[in-house]
Amino acid sequence: MKKISLVALSLVSSLIALSQGANSPRYCGQVGRTMQFHQHNPECGHEVRLAEAELEEYARNYSEEERGGGQIIYQIPVVFHIIHNNGPENISDAQIYDAMFILNRDFRKQNADTIAIVPEFADIAADIGIEFVLASKDPDGNCHPGIVRVESELTTDGGSDMKALSMWPRNRYMNVWVCADAGDGTAGYTFLPATVSGNWGAQNDGIVLRHDYTGSIGTGSLFRSRTLTHEVGHWLNLSHPWGPTNSPGDAGNCDFDDGVDDTPNTIGWTSCDLDGASCGSAIDNVQNYMEYSYCSRMFTEGQGSRMRSALTSPIAQRNNLYTTNNLILTGVIDPELCFCDFRLFANTACVGQPITFNDLSYHGIEQWSWDFGDGNTLVGSDPNVHKNPVYTYEQPGTYTVTLTVTNGANSLTVTKENIITIFGYAQETAPFTEGFEETWPNDAWAIYNHDGDLTYEITPSTAFSGTKSLKLRNFSNNEPGRVDELLSATYDMSAMDTVWLSYRWAYANKISGTNEDRLRIQVSGDCGANWSTRRTRSGTNTLPTANPISSQFTPTSSSQWGGETIVMADEDWMTDGFRIRFEFTGQGGNNFYLDDINITASDTTTIIPTNIREVKPTFVYSVFPNPAKDQTNIRYYALQTEFVSAKMYNSLGQMVAIIAEENVPAGETLWVVNKQPAGMYTIVLEKAGYRQVEKVLFE
């Protein structure tokens, strides 16, 4: 069999075209990334070739008794770095656990589909004798779940800069980065040990995976679930069966070899042709984990020997990972029960609605004990039942929940006061007004503070009407993506056909910097099981009601408040489980205020409600679409016949259109605004000496 330097070939091998469609499989980026690495580090080529030769010699001399797994089971500490930008790439812990399960199953030959290995290779399918364990201690010796989450736009980079955001020492952990895009259209990649053997490679040593090629649940899938198995094979010095190229199917691959005696030379496969034969072999090992066939289910004994030799060699410091001392330092041996916590994905529900409690505790838990605060408990050791229980409350109220976990020797307990509010159906009726002048909090509202930091609070410093309003301190928010929710109780709208929600808000940008603050108004007809967004306002254009300010914003006059009314008439919302949610996401802006929330409804005998509380005239309107291309529309609702002016101004303050100056009748009026040059415009509505301002973007 011909041999060729992996480094030399990677410099000239072509990168397979990987710009597949959404439903086409992606492949490995090891060869392409290696080419890039050497192009950026040409001075390391000689040392890489020396390390490669040393590793090949080590593999040839590896003890025969260790081939095929031997008697020693090696354990490797693993840390996952989830690099995300609050998108689907921020995969759940459960998806990571699933990926780890699949990796260990495949490396220990415990996958049920080994029964379908073709007879020609069934006898040499190997238990590699290597296991992978999430670390339970970080590099400083602190208790840790082995999963790091970092928010960054570099999630689409997949390269060295992304890795630098979070990197644990490679001589103690196998680093795995999960991101939105691994680069070059690939499913993932890593480097062979020799490529990163020196100090130049230490900061690049590890495995990068696209989130949707990680595990079989969540954003992953069963079809794509063995990408990590493939990449760990590379990380332990396996090449593709057709040799060190990334061009499977090329007849020229018959001239190259993967350095493993029991894998026949092959051109490489991107389809599952179990009868496939090439390069003179009787049959190719199409089901090999290192193939691109997407029907892989085995390593060979020769591959096992090669991987174990790489693990026990000093190249790239692999041989320190499984040592007893390192397993103690990383918490693989005798993991400590050191953390007890749980979370809810929603802290409100209705009587009879199932609620999932998610245990976040670690490590080595053998039993869970839940006290749900209503006189009922759940105790047991079955993780499928007791770790993340689903519970239903039968009475309205606010409940305190306690979790106790034990590892058989030690126990930890956490109690969360008033963690969940259970509403009855039809708890409130319209019309309803909330000016935040009375006792707060009250039974009509609940707050969900996702991050456990500052959240909605009553302030006596400013109000649109009265003396108080609801404030969200957002000026000093240094954690992008902080979410706070104000959630209503249930309203009985079952006999209604239209609901009007009006409210006042105040907000200003900071003078310097940018922000991605966002307010979303959402409605539910099934007590919050599902939410529909009715209005979204962004901090850059449609949320501000006052000029930018460098200090903390506090509105000082009614002119610094905005107001609007949202009209809702979908029959799915006309139930006894009608609810409203104000969701504010803070991403670098200033303080936010709410006041004068009014909920009014009408049945089929009432055309327009007349009991919306007003301190100054309420402007009931919507502007759509926004952003606009060809035109935008203003749908205006009048409570009675009234004179209204609507004008539009460009970013220079010049009036570009008089949309309306007319008496409008009670009910709905639609105005059409024709296409404008690209830019931001201001629509000013005026009546009875008051005005309302709305931003609209023409693209």
**pLDDT score recorded for residue 654:** 80
Q: Give me the sign of the Cα torsion angle 228, 229, 230, 231.
A: positive
Collapse the DSSP code of 406 into the 3-class scheme (helix H, G, I; strand E, B; otherwise coil) and give the result: strand
In this structure, the number of other CB atoms found within 10 A of the CB of residue 26 comes to 20
**pLDDT tens string 544-575:** 988 888 899 999 998 899 888 888 888 899 99
If asked whether residues 35 and 140 sit together in one domain, one would say yes
User: How far, in Å, CA of 586 to CA of 30, rounded?
Assistant: 39
User: How far, in Å, CA of 509 to CA of 518, rounded?
Assistant: 12
Q: At a CB cut-off of 8 Å and minimum separation 6, what does 135 contact?
A: 77, 78, 79, 144, 146, 168, 173, 330, 331, 332
Answer for the pair 459, 553: CB distance below 8 angstroms, yes or no: no
Residue count of the chain, please give it: 699
If asked whether residues 658 and 541 sit together in one domain, one would say no
User: How far, in Å, CA of 458 to CA of 532, rounded?
Assistant: 27
| Residue 487 is assigned to a structural domain of this protein | yes
Tell me the average pLDDT across 11-36.
Answer: 50
**pLDDT tens string 80-93:** 999 998 889 999 99
Amino acid at 273: D
Tell me the average pLDDT across 488-495.
Answer: 94
Peptide bond into 441 cis (omega under 30): yes
**pLDDT score recorded for residue 299:** 97
**174-to-89, 104, 171, 190, 313 alpha-carbon distances in Å:** 20, 14, 8, 11, 15
Q: At a CB cut-off of 8 Å and minimum separation 6, what does 432 contact?
A: 444, 491, 598, 599, 600
User: How far, in Å, CA of 325 to CA of 482, rounded?
Assistant: 40
| Residue 194 is assigned to a structural domain of this protein | yes
**231 is an active site residue:** yes
Collapse the DSSP code of 337 into the 3-class scheme (helix H, G, I; strand E, B; otherwise coil) and give the result: coil
Calculate the dihedral angle through the C-alpha atoms of 250, 254, 260, 263, rounding to the nearest 10 degrees.
80
The pair of structure tokens assigned to 153 is: 């736009």
CATH of the domain at 689: 2.60.40.2550
CATH of the domain at 385: 2.60.40.10
Question: Which H or E element spans position 386?
Answer: none
What pLDDT band is residue 448 in, cutting at 50, 70 and 90? confident
Q: Which residues of 414-438 are buried (b: 16+ CB within 10 A; e: fewer)?
A: eebeebbbbbbbbbbebebebbbbe
Taking the whole predicted model, whether its pTM rises above 0.75 is answered as no
If asked whether residues 440 and 502 sit together in one domain, one would say yes
**pLDDT score recorded for residue 138:** 96
| Residue 142 is assigned to a structural domain of this protein | yes
The pair of structure tokens assigned to 658 is: 């008089």
If asked whether residues 132 and 99 sit together in one domain, one would say yes
Domain final position from 560, 583, 616? 616
User: How far, in Å, CA of 380 to CA of 578, rounded?
Assistant: 37
| Residue 677 is assigned to a structural domain of this protein | yes
**CA nearest neighbour of 195 among 82, 39, 59, 375:** 39
**pLDDT tens string 124-166:** 999 999 999 999 999 999 999 999 999 999 999 999 999 999 9
Q: Residue 625's domain spans which residues? A: 619-699
If asked whether residues 305 and 375 sit together in one domain, one would say no
If asked whether residues 351 and 321 sit together in one domain, one would say no
If asked whether residues 232 and 95 sit together in one domain, one would say yes
Domains: count for the chain: 4
User: How far, in Å, CA of 92 to CA of 78, rounded?
Assistant: 17
If asked whether residues 158 and 98 sit together in one domain, one would say yes
User: How far, in Å, CA of 27 to CA of 542, rounded?
Assistant: 43
User: How far, in Å, CA of 125 to CA of 672, rounded?
Assistant: 70
On the question of pLDDT at 390 being above 80, the answer is yes
**CA nearest neighbour of 568 among 536, 601, 592:** 601
| Residue 658 is assigned to a structural domain of this protein | yes
- The DSSP secondary-structure symbol of 622 reads E
If asked whether residues 376 and 401 sit together in one domain, one would say yes
Task: Tell me the CB-side half-sphere exposure of residue 676, using CA atoms within 13 A.
Answer: 24
Q: Give me the sign of the Cα torsion angle 142, 147, 152, 154.
A: positive
Domain final position from 415, 434, 465? 415
What pLDDT band is residue 11 in, cutting at 50, 70 and 90? very low
CATH of the domain at 569: 2.60.120.200
Looking at per-residue confidence, does 425 or 615 come out higher? 425
The pair of structure tokens assigned to 233 is: 């094979």
| Residue 534 is assigned to a structural domain of this protein | yes
**CA nearest neighbour of 517 among 454, 449, 589:** 589
User: How far, in Å, CA of 209 to CA of 23, rounded?
Assistant: 17
**pLDDT score recorded for residue 20:** 34
What pLDDT band is residue 541 in, cutting at 50, 70 and 90? confident
What pLDDT band is residue 468 in, cutting at 50, 70 and 90? very high
| Residue 234 is assigned to a structural domain of this protein | yes
On the question of pLDDT at 642 being above 90, the answer is no
If asked whether residues 644 and 590 sit together in one domain, one would say no
The pair of structure tokens assigned to 673 is: 């605004």
- Radius of gyration of the chain from its Cα atoms, rounded to whole angstroms: 31
Looking at per-residue confidence, does 378 or 26 come out higher? 378
**pLDDT score recorded for residue 330:** 96
Least confident window among 233-247, 505-519, 587-601:
505-519
**CA nearest neighbour of 698 among 660, 653, 654, 650:** 650
Q: Please count the helices (runs of H) and the strands (runs of E) in the chain.
A: 9, 32
CATH of the domain at 103: 3.40.390.10
| Residue 571 is assigned to a structural domain of this protein | yes
**pLDDT tens string 509-536:** 888 766 778 999 999 999 999 999 999 9
If asked whether residues 159 and 225 sit together in one domain, one would say yes
CA 176 to chain centre: 16
Query: Catalytic: which of 89, 231, 564, 583?
Result: 231
Collapse the DSSP code of 82 into the 3-class scheme (helix H, G, I; strand E, B; otherwise coil) and give the result: strand
If asked whether residues 453 and 590 sit together in one domain, one would say yes
